[in-house]
Amino acid sequence: MESKKLKHIVLELVHGDIAAVEAGAIVNAANNGLWMGVGVAGAIKSLGGIEIEKEAMAKGPISIGTAVATTAGKLKARYVIHAAVMGEDLYTNAGYIAMATQSSLVLADSLGIDSVALPALGTGVGRFPIKECANIMMNAVLNFDRRYPKQLKKVVFVLFSEKAFREFETEYRKVI
């Protein structure tokens, strides 16, 4: 685990399963229809319960790059933030990842929680390059930190694969 205090928030890197993380909210790498298939969404649905998907789908579809929150079912988190990082065609790009990351952070802060955990958005089903994703998401967190978050005190990147953790760690060391 890596941890660094930015201006207003603590930024952490963790190698692990986001569905098992204790946080105010965990972020789901969602499609804009908000149905939960495999990858991060599948892990969240499997551990947290089908009610998370049902609640999410009732709020969709949403625009790519935006996010909505649901309860977290049986998870250790209070909320699941569903960040639409791709359309139902499962295609993503740098712009979608940047917008979805920003939307997730803003929503987490508006929920009044103090911590949020994010996966490497769009790098699984969306097949976006992990290194580029890490750079985009790190910069989104730095930009958000400069905007004086009201409640959010900690942002944790939870990376499932060793490769994703290493790529995020490299970008983390560049921006910190």
Q: Which residues contact 54 (CB under 8 A, 6 or more apart)?
A: none
- Report pLDDT for 101: 98
- Report pLDDT for 88: 87
Measure CA of the first residue to CA of the last residue in the chain; give whole Å: 15
- Report pLDDT for 165: 97
Instruction: List Cα–Cα distances, 75 to 100, 117, 119, 161, in angstroms.
Output: 22, 13, 16, 21
Q: Are 105 and 140 in contact (CB under 8 A)?
A: yes
Q: Are 170 and 5 in contact (CB under 8 A)?
A: no
Fill in the DSSP letter of residue 111.
T
Hey, which residues does 3 pair with through a beta bridge?
12
Cα(83)–Cα(65) distance, rounded to whole angstroms? 7
Torsion of CA 56, 62, 63, 64, to 10 degrees: 20
Q: Are 116 and 86 in contact (CB under 8 A)?
A: no
Taking the chain (176 residues) in runs of 10, the rounded mean pLDDT of each run is 91 96 97 94 95 98 98 98 95 97 98 98 95 97 91 97 96 85
- Report pLDDT for 1: 80
Q: Are 14 and 23 in contact (CB under 8 A)?
A: no
Q: Tell me, what amino acid is at 125?
A: V
Cα(1)–Cα(158) distance, rounded to whole angstroms? 10
Domains of the chain: 2-175 (3.40.220.10)
- On the CB side of 51, CA atoms within 13 Å amount to 9
